[in-house]
Amino acid sequence: MKEQTKILHSIPVDPLTGAISTPIYQTSTFVQDEPGIHKGFDYSRTNNPTRKALEDLIATLENGAQGFAFASGLSAIDAVVKLLSAGDEILAVDDIYGGAFRLFTQVYTRLGITVKFCDTTNAENVFNQISEKTKLVWVESPTNPTLKISDIEAIAKIAKANGSLLCVDNTFASPVSQKPIHLGADIVVHSATKYLGGHSDLISGLVITKNDALGEKIKFIQNASGAVLAPFDSWLVIRGIETLDLRVKQHAENAYKVARFLSSNPFIKNVYFPGLSSHANFEIARKQMKYPGGIVSFDLVQDDKNRAKSIATHTAYFKLAESLGGVKSLLCIPAEMTHKSIPAEIRNQNGVTDSLIRLSIGLEDADDLIADLEQAINFAFSTENQPIKSLKEFYVTK
């Protein structure tokens, strides 16, 4: 069975009613025949049929043994970290999602779990930094917003030889593009808020484990901590996943066209997109990803913050907002928004300059998206839009 068929047919028809769409079991509890004798469900924090349908679907899609649905991407990440104990160490990608950075350094460090960061785009750095204490290696690929790619297979071998678990945050790639478990990872997490939901209408997270032993541990934590996904939102994520392959394929095609356009524009300095041969990790991306993704980032000549702001506020179809992965195009300026809390020096080292703009390419026609960006860039660089250097100049122009 090909993947798209598997996505659409791995959820069985509802056995009770024949409903082709998984029913939303909007209930907290389930009536029991005798104490402890029930139809497999007793309380919706522990298990719910709609959530279970999603959990089984994502396990299938990621080639894992078990899947788990959480109230957000961060609560999914939180459940994985709870596998560790005080004294253990996490070795994480340095270009990590800001929310995961905050959770690791401001919550778990306080509870005795230490965290080290390294540039995982070179697997040798992982080899050099991993230690006896390292119980968890944490990789994101591609990263946000400069789309760095790490060699998951190489890192998995290093983690395994050290007896550490490897968890991959697969949010930016999505499971139709990249299968970390197939590449050797033990655990995969997603912010289903992004491509899996796909319509910018919910917050959700998923964990998938390679084997049942890890699955039982995550199941225990999910029930014990309780940050579960509601039945209605589980249903929405299932509906999103049904079109995932089609959407991600089109996001990538549009993104490629936009990236090509930006690369040829004289006002643009760097374009970050793993599908361009100019990308630093192009070869690894090609090896481990089916589609290069739908995110394109770029910065401007002279790193001009004001012009970047002008572009970000003069597009018609690209809406200025955080988040990504939805059907409608979004853009943001990470230095001012998602990455504002990171010191400027570190940001600049990671390529997150003041003028860097991140695009989440939607499913509008690519020609319209390119025209939209072109007019906004031209406006930002037009002579009428030169940034004024003093107030005197302001009076003169009046």
Q: Which of 66, 72, 125, 174 binds ligand PLP (CB under 6 A)?
A: 72
Question: What does the block give as tokens for 77?
Answer: 């990440």
Separation between Cα atoms, residue 71 and residue 238, nearest integer Å: 14
User: Least Å distance between CB 120 and ligand PLP?
Assistant: 14
Environment class of 189 (CB within 10 Å of its CB; exposed 0-12, middle 13-18, buried 19+)? buried
Window contacting ligand PLP (CB under 6 A); options: 11-19, 66-74, 356-364, 387-395: 66-74
251 binds ligand PLP (CB under 6 A): no
Between 72 and 355, whose beta carbon lies closer to ligand PLP? 72
Nearer to ligand PLP, 207 or 377 (CB): 207
Look up 169 and say whether it is catalytic.
Answer: yes
Sheet of 295-300, strand order? 268-272, 295-300, 357-360, 330-332, 319-320
Closer CB to ligand PLP, 50 or 193, in the complex: 193
Among candidate residues 181, 187, 192, 184, the one with its CA nearest the CA of residue 160: 184
Of the residues 78, 95, 151, 169, only one is catalytic, namely 169
Q: Note the residue count of the chain.
A: 398
Is 194 tagged catalytic? Answer: yes
Total residues interacting with ligand PLP, rule: CB under 6 A:
16
**Cβ-Cβ contacts under 8 Å for 179 (sequence gap 6 or more):** 62, 63
DSSP per residue, 47-78: --HHHHHHHHHHHHHTT-SEEEEESSHHHHHH
Among 52, 135, 179, 194, binds ligand PLP (CB under 6 A): 194
**CA separation for the pair 138, 148 (Å, rounded):** 14
Task: Give, as ranges, the residues between 346 and 375 that touch ligand PLP (CB under 6 A).
Answer: none
Between 184 and 205, CB nearer to ligand PLP: 205
User: Active site includes 260?
Assistant: no
Q: Please identify, using beta-carbon distances, which residue of 49 and 231 lies nearer to ligand PLP.
A: 231
Q: Which tokens sit at 386?
A: 């030169």
DSSP β-ladder status, 357-360 and 330-332: antiparallel
Other Cβ atoms less than 10 A from the Cβ of 322: the count is 11
Residues between 73 and 102 that touch ligand PLP (CB under 6 A): 73-74, 97, 99-100
- Measured CA to CA, the distance from residue 42 to residue 59 in angstroms comes to 22
304 classed as catalytic: no
Specify the residue, 49 or 145, whose C-beta has the smaller distance to ligand PLP: 145
Question: Which residue among 169, 233, 299, 304 contacts ligand PLP (CB under 6 A)?
Answer: 169
Catalytic residue among 51, 52, 82, 97: 97
Chain centroid to CA 397: how far?
A: 46
Exactly one of 62, 89, 95, 140 binds ligand PLP (CB under 6 A); that residue is 140
Candidate list 125, 174, 178, 193; residue touching ligand PLP; CB under 6 A:
193
Q: Which is nearer to ligand PLP, 23 or 99 (CB)?
A: 99
User: Angle at CA 249, nearest 5°, toward 137 and 376?
Assistant: 95
- The least CB distance from residue 84 to ligand PLP, in Å, is 18
Helix-, strand-, coil-residue percentages of the chain, each rounded to 5? 40, 15, 45
- Interface region with ligand PLP, contact rule CB under 6 A, candidates 49-57, 190-198, 236-244, 358-366: 190-198
Footprint on this chain of ligand PLP (rule: CB under 6 A): 72-74, 97, 99-100, 140, 144, 169, 171-172, 191, 193-194, 203, 205
Annotated active-site positions, please?
45, 97, 169, 194
